[in-house]
Structure 1
Amino acid sequence: MSRWHRLFDSNERLFWVLHCAGWTGFAIVYYIGSFLHDVRSIWMFVILLNAYAGWLLTIPLRYIFRWARRQSPLKMILIVIVACYVVALIWAVVKNVNYWEIYKHGYRPEEWYMYFTNTINSLIMIGCWSGVYFGIKNFQMLQKEKQNALKATTMAHQAHIKMLRYQLNPHFLFNTLNAISTLILLKENDSAETMVSRLSDFLRYSLDNDPIKRVPLGQEIKALRLYLEIEKVRFDDRLDVGWDIEQNCEAALVPSMILQPIIENAIKHAISRMEEGGRIDITARSFGNDLLMDVADNGPGADIQNGQLTRENGVGLANIRDRLQSLYHRNFAFSIEHNKPKGVRVRIRIPYEVNDV
């Protein structure tokens, strides 16, 4: 497969391979087609001479056509027609000479039109050669344009995903720095130092992972534990977290930092508004070819309309849906529901994928 890839990557190599293969095929087909005419070696020699002459005469056409493609369309058409006719005429003369001098041993036809009998056939053959040349060139040009368009689309797609991911960090960082500032003002230096250390580890994970790439869920859980430890410094015993992660799900690939904004949203709108605190349950399980993830809280609940939180005025949950759409197209589900007996539950369904080892 790599040999074919190298062949089509080089225009120079591709031209010579197709050029030689085309004229070899011409000689073979011509000989087979005229097999009943003559089977002597002298006839095969004449065919080989004609094929070699065609091979030689069409080489300059490549450079003429290359120059013509840079001209205006009308001028290009005129150049191609004239060049094809001249080459076909010269080739017809060469074929006549080979036929009369070598095969017929000096024979000369008496009728004047016999001198032009090979011209039409030569024009057809040179026209086919030219058509294949321009066809391949146009195909290569279209393929290059498609590759450039695909590359531009991919770059825009990746930039969009990165923008969505990195929009989340400033909001979390702002809240955490405020909490650290409060701890310092209260002279709780040990708690502030612990929070700074965990924040550093969490941000390192966040920045080291490309939003385009998927990471194992187990790795994502470790980052979430860091994040929740930071939040527990703020909320102390008011924040309770439950984990229910199936073991086979830890190797499943998920978009990096996909659950953190959901948990942040639950803390902001549920835990922080309850004097006695609350609980967040994080679950993950496999179901057929899908990975199902839930984040549920037991907070005061929210007004949910058409699967959307009416209270949501940030970018968190909206960005999650956009990221999933960009990464999985239609092969995902993202829903926001009422939790029972109270609270909000966010569900995510994505394909169950693991790294091939």
Structure 2
Amino acid sequence: MAIKSIFGVWGAYFLFETGRLLYVSNSNAEALFVQRILMTIICITFTWLLYRMLIAVRSGGMGAAIFMLVLPTMILANYIAILDQIVFDDQAALFEFSYLLDPIDFALFDWVLILDETFTRYFILAGWGALYLALSHSQDVQRMMEHSRQLERVNRESELRALRYQLNPHFVFNALNSVSSLIIDRQNEQAEKLVDDLADYMRAVLTGGAEDMITVEQEIAQQARYLEIERMRFPERLHYFVNIAPAANGWKIPALIIQPLIENAIKFGVSSADQPLNIVISAQIDGDRLQIRVANDGRVKIPAEQPHDRTDGTGTGLSNIQNRLKALYGQNASLFLANSKDGMAVATIILPDPSLMFEDI
């Protein structure tokens, strides 16, 4: 960055001075052009020295850098102005620099012109130095922000994995209760099949354990496998239906995000009543939002601060969902509980376009 800006500043100055010579007739224009190149190289060298001095005092804070841009930069500008008087010779031939080895007679110098040149070069050097410090500070801030984003991303991923894996023991606990019930009822073949299905399901979940985001189609397939496992326990009472809009199948959602909703539906539907339980899973796109609904027969008691408070044991799963949504989407996603007019308890998850995820905060 520093080298590019040095060449950029003095390159622009060189082009400006060269362009100005086009409007001034001079019989020795070619020699002056070469001298201008030499002087530009000298200016670049002095600016590089200023760059090294600024690096040396950066650890001393902004005060030291500002001091370096005042007195030392003024001295460098003065040397450049003196060298400018030495280098430029209207009478010198093209590529003839032997005059630079002659003794210097300072009495012949135009000190008023040198003073003017000193201020001109000083403001160029100081301007470059201020630009460098600003760009350098901006880069430091960007690096700090990137480091902060990386730390936040790592923390968020750790939180998401902790929340995600919290679901697996919860599910295993419920599934093992089902196995226990089948064994108590002496339905050993069904218990054995349930264990095999459970092993297949957990293998599928753990195989994709590194993925926090999966498609709606993958999520529904996992939940359908889970419901098939539960139907082993309640073959006559548990019925489920899936209605997924084709456009929603490829939408990326957090893995296992609707698992707690289905678990709650079964736990408080099938196990607490003798009537058959219907579970309806639906997903559709509404504008730039994805709506996923899990509805089941019955009524739900809406918490006063839904869905934060625990209500009849459902708080853990619902809180888990909301925490995951907040970690991924901030305030752009939501979870709602409601009772429909046709006598069903409905939980709705509304997700924004995947581009609104906190990919790089």
What's the TM-score, normalizing by structure 2?
Answer: 0.82
Give 1:258 shift.
1.4
Contact (CA 8 Å) 1:270, 1:300: kept in 2 or not? no
- Equivalences, count: 341
Distance of 2:44 and 2:162 partners within structure 1:
56
Contact (CA 8 Å) 1:161, 1:212: kept in 2 or not? no
Q: How does 1:222-301 map onto structure 2 within 5 Å?
A: 222-299=221-298, 301=300
Contact (CA 8 Å) 2:69, 2:126: kept in 1 or not? no
SS at match of 2:348: strand
Q: What amino acid maps onto 1:41 in structure 2?
A: E
1:120 pairs with 2:119: yes
Give 1:169 shift.
1.9
Distance of 1:224 and 1:271 partners within structure 2:
17
SS at match of 2:257: coil
Give 1:44 shift.
2.3
Q: How does 1:103-142 map onto structure 2 within 5 Å?
A: 109=108, 113=112, 116-142=115-141
Query: Counterpart of 2:358?
Result: none
Distance of 1:249 and 1:316 partners within structure 2:
24
Query: Counterpart of 1:25?
Result: 12
Distance of 2:248 and 2:111 partners within structure 1:
87
SS at match of 1:273: coil
1:90 pairs with 2:79: yes
Q: Which runs of 5+ in 1 are unaligned?
A: 1-13
State the percentage of identical aligned residues: 25
Contact (CA 8 Å) 2:237, 2:275: kept in 1 or not? yes
Distance of 1:331 and 1:187 partners within structure 2:
49
Residues 41 and 161 (structure 1), Cα distance of their counterparts in 2 relative to 1, 3 Å cut? same
SS at match of 1:284: strand
SS at match of 2:236: helix
Query: Counterpart of 2:56?
Result: 67
SS at match of 2:267: helix
Distance of 1:73 and 1:248 partners within structure 2:
56
User: RMSD in angstroms over aligned alpha carbons?
Assistant: 3.1
1:46 pairs with 2:35: yes
Give 1:94 shift.
0.7
SS at match of 2:271: helix
Query: Counterpart of 2:345?
Result: 344
Distance of 2:138 and 2:150 partners within structure 1:
18
Give 1:338 shift.
0.9
Residues 162 and 292 (structure 1), Cα distance of their counterparts in 2 relative to 1, 3 Å cut? same
Distance of 2:109 and 2:61 partners within structure 1:
44
Give 1:240 shift.
1.6
Q: What amino acid maps onto 1:84 in structure 2?
A: T
Q: Which runs of 5+ in 2 are unaligned?
A: 94-98, 356-361
Give 1:261 shift.
0.8
Residue deviations 1:198-235 (CA, integer Å, cap 9, x gap): 22222223233357643222211211111112212232
